[in-house]
C-alpha cells in the first residue's frame, strides 16, 4: 500500500536518532490520512526545496532547531505561497460571511420571531467540529478551496449574525424614539439610525470572526487546502521538521494580529463619533 | 453509488462498529482523551481562577490567555506537541488541554469577580475569614458561571480531539482521515456524522445537567451566560473558538 504513495518524494535527510529506521517517513505518511489530498495540493518546487534543506542540514545532520532563518531563506517562495493562500482564504471567507450575516441579522431584528431560530441554528452549527464540517462537503464540492471556504463562511457567519443582532438590539431606546419622533419609517430607522449605532458591535464581531478564521484555515489540510497549516502538516510528516512547523505557527499568529489591528483601525475610522465621545 | 447511500451502508455494517478500530472503540478513546484533557485543564485553571478571582486581580492575565488561545491554531499546537517526541495520546491530551484552560479560567475569574460587593462585605461583617467567605459565600454564587466555563471547555475539547487524527492520535476523527486517504467518501461522511452527533449529544447532556444542577433561583443567570453574548470588545470575552 505505501508503495503507491508519493509521500516520500521529498523527505528531509533522516535525523540521526531516526536514521536507523528507513521507513520513519513512510510510516507516518501512510498512517496519516490526507496524504492524497496533501500531495495533490503541493505542487512543484518541492525538489528545489529539498536540495536547499539538504545542504542546510547536511553540515549538522542532528540539528533540528525550532527556529531557523536558513529555512525561511531557502523556502521563502513556498512560505509566501502558503501565506497568500491563507490570507486570501481568510479575507474571502469573512467578506462573504459579512455579506450574508448583516442582512440576516437585520431580518432577525425586524422580525423578532425569527431571531430565536436563527440564533439557535447558529449555535448548533457552531458545535460541529471543523474536521467534520470541512470533510462532509467533499463528495459534493471536491477536494480543495471550495470545501474549506464554505466551512469557514459557516463558522464566521455564526459569530457575525449574533453580533449584528446584539448590536441592533443594544441601540439606546431613546435614540430609536428620537428617530421615530422625526417620522422615520421602520426601514429608514434601521438603516440610518440603528445600523450606524450597532457598528461598533458589528466591527467587534468581524474582528472576532477574522481571528478565529485565521486559526481555522489550518484545519483545511484535511482537504489539501490549509494555507500555513499545509506547511505545519508537511513539516510534521517530514521527520518532524521543527523549523517548518514553528515558522508556520508564528506566521499564523502574526497574520491574526495584523488583520486584527487593520480592522481595529477601520473600526476607528468609520466610527469617529465613538472616539470623540470617549475623549470628551 | 450515491455518497449518502454509501455513508449509511458504512454505518449499517456491524463490522465497522466492533473491533479494535471500530466505532465503539474509537468513541471510547475519544471520550477518554477528552475527559483527561478537561480534567487536566480544570486542575490547572480552577485553582488559578479561584486564586486570581479571590485576590481580585489578574484580569489582564486571563484576557491575554483568552486572546492568544483564539489566535493560536489548535492544529499548530497539536503538530508541535506531536513532533516533540510525545507521541499519540499524551501529545493530544496536552495540546487539547491548553485550549480548554482559557474558558475555565476566565469564567471562574469572572464568576468570582461578579459576586456582589455588598454580599462580600456582609460576609466580612459577620466575622468570616477571607478563606471562609470564599468557600461558603463567593464560590457557591460563582458556581453557575464556573459550570458554564467547564461546559464550554468540554464542548471545545470534544470538537478538537478529532483533529488529532491528522497527526497520529486516535479518535473518531480517524474514520474521517482514513476515509480521505482511501478516497472512500461514504466513510468520510459517515465519520463526519458520527463526530458531529457525538458533540451534539454530549452538548445536550451537559446543557441538561447544568440546568438540573443550578438552583432554581439562579437559573436566569445561568441561562444568560449559556447564551454567550458576542463581544463588543473582543478582548474582554471568554474564549470560545470553533475547532
- Terminal Cα distance for chain B, rounded: 31
A26-51 in b/e form (b: 16+ CB < 10 A) is bebbbbbbbbbbbbebbeeeeeebbe
Backbone angles phi, psi at A235, to 5 degrees: -60, -40
pTM of the model: 0.73
Q: Is the ipTM of this complex over 0.90?
A: no
Best probe of the A interface among B10, B73, B223, by most A CBs < 10 A, is B73
A260 neighbourhood in chain B, CB within 8 Å:
71
Q: Provide the CA B225 distance to its chain's centre, in angstroms.
A: 15
CATH number for the domain that contains residue B198:
1.10.3720.10
Contact A236 B83 (CB under 8 A): yes
Distance from CA of A113 to the nearest CA of B (A): 17
| Integer angstrom CA distances of residue B200 from A151, B161, B174 | 18, 14, 19
In a domain, B219, yes or no: yes
Contact A130 B181 (CB under 8 A): no
- Find the domain containing B163 and state its range: 3-236
Whether the predicted pLDDT of A53 surpasses 80? no
Whether the predicted pLDDT of A114 surpasses 60? yes
The CATH superfamily of A76-267 is MetI-like (1.10.3720.10)
8 Å CB contact between A164 and A231: no
What is d(CA B134, CA A50) in angstroms, rounded to the nearest whole number? Answer: 60
A236 neighbourhood in chain B, CB within 8 Å:
79, 82-83, 167
Mean pLDDT is lowest, of A177-186, A203-212, B38-47, B223-232, for B223-232
* Structure confidence at residue A3 (pLDDT): 40
Work out the mean pLDDT of chain B and round it to a whole number.
81
Contact A127 B180 (CB under 8 A): no
Distance from CA of A187 to the nearest CA of B (A): 24
In a domain, B67, yes or no: yes
Backbone angles phi, psi at A104, to 5 degrees: -65, -45
Q: What is the domain count for chain B?
A: 1
Which chain A residue is nearest to residue B181, measuring alpha carbons? A33
Which chain A residue is nearest to residue B73, measuring alpha carbons? A215
Contact A31 B233 (CB under 8 A): no
Q: What confidence category does residue B240 fall into, taking pLDDT thresholds of 50, 70 and 90?
A: low
Which chain B residue is nearest to residue A198, measuring alpha carbons? B232
Q: What confidence category does residue A277 fall into, taking pLDDT thresholds of 50, 70 and 90?
A: low
In a domain, B243, yes or no: no
A85-121 in b/e form (b: 16+ CB < 10 A) is bbbebbeebbebbbebbbebbbebbeeeeebeebbee
8 Å CB contact between B89 and B129: no
Amino acid at each position: 500500500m505505501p508503495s503507491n504513495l508519493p509521500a516520500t518524494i521529498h523527505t528531509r535527510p533522516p535525523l540521526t536518532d531516526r536514521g536507523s529506521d528507513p521507513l520513519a517517513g513512510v510510516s507516518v505518511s501512510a498512517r496519516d490520512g490526507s496524504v492524497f489530498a496533501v500531495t495533490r495540493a503541493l505542487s512543484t518546487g518541492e525538489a528545489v526545496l529539498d536540495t536547499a534543506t539538504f545542504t542546510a542540514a547536511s553540515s549538522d545532520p542532528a540539528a533540528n532547531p525550532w527556529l531557523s532563518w536558513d529555512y525561511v531563506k531557502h523556502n521563502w517562495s513556498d512560505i509566501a505561497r502558503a501565506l497568500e493562500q491563507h490570507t486570501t482564504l481568510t479575507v474571502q471567507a469573512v467578506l462573504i460571511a459579512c455579506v450574508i450575516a448583516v442582512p440576516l441579522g437585520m431580518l432577525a431584528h425586524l422580525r423578532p420571531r425569527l431571531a430565536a431560530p436563527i440564533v439557535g441554528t447558529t449555535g448548533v452549527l457552531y458545535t460541529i467540529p471543523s474536521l467534520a464540517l470541512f470533510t462532509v462537503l467533499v463528495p459534493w464540492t471536491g477536494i480543495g478551496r471550495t470545501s474549506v471556504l464554505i466551512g469557514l463562511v459557516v463558522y464566521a457567519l455564526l459569530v457575525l449574525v449574533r453580533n449584528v443582532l446584539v448590536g441592533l438590539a443594544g441601540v439606546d431606546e431613546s435614540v430609536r424614539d428620537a428617530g421615530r419622533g422625526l417620522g422615520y419609517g421602520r426601514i429608514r430607522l434601521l438603516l440610518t439610525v440603528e445600523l450606524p449605532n450597532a457598528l461598533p458591535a458589528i466591527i467587534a464581531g468581524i474582528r472576532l470572526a477574522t481571528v478565529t478564521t485565521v486559526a481555522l484555515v489550518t484545519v483545511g489540510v484535511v482537504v489539501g487546502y490549509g494555507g500555513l497549516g499545509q506547511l505545519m502538516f508537511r513539516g510534521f510528516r517530514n521527520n518532524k521538521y521543527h523549523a517548518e512547523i514553528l515558522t508556520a505557527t508564528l506566521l499564523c499568529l502574526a497574520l491574526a494580529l495584523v488583520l486584527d489591528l487593520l480592522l481595529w483601525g477601520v473600526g476607528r475610522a468609520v466610527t469617529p463619533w465613538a472616539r470623540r465621545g470617549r475623549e470628551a | 453509488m450515491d455518497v449518502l447511500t454509501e455513508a449509511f451502508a458504512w454505518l449499517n455494517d456491524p463490522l465497522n462498529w466492533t473491533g479494535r478500530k471500530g466505532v465503539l472503540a474509537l468513541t471510547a478513546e475519544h471520550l477518554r482523551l477528552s475527559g483527561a484533557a478537561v480534567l487536566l485543564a480544570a486542575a490547572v485553571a480552577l485553582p488559578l481562577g479561584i486564586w486570581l478571582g479571590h485576590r481580585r486581580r489578574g484580569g489582564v492575565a486571563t484576557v491575554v490567555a483568552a486572546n492568544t488561545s483564539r489566535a493560536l491554531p489548535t492544529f499548530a499546537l497539536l503538530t508541535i506537541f506531536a513532533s516533540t517526541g510525545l507521541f499519540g495520546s499524551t501529545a493530544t491530551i496536552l495540546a487539547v488541554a491548553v485550549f480548554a484552560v482559557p474558558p475555565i479560567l476566565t469564567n471562574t475569574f469572572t464568576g468570582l469577580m461578579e459576586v456582589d460587593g455588598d454580599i462580600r462585605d456582609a460576609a466580612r461583617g459577620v466575622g468570616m475569614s477571607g478563606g471562609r467567605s470564599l468557600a461558603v459565600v463567593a464560590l457557591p454564587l460563582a458556581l453557575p458561571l464556573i459550570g458554564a466555563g467547564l461546559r464550554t471547555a468540554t464542548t471545545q475539547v470534544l470538537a478538537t480531539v478529532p483533529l488529532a487524527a491528522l497527526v497520529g492520535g486516535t479518535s473518531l476523527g480517524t474514520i474521517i482521515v482514513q476515509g480521505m486517504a482511501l478516497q472512500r467518501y461514504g466513510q468520510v461522511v459517515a465519520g463526519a456524522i458520527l463526530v458531529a452527533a457525538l458533540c451534539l449529544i454530549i452538548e445536550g447532556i451537559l446543557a441538561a445537567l447544568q440546568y438540573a444542577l443550578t438552583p432554581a433561583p439562579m437559573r436566569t443567570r445561568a441561562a444568560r451566560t449559556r447564551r454567550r453574548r458576542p463581544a463588543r470588545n473582543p478582548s474582554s470575552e471568554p474564549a470560545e473558538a470553533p475547532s
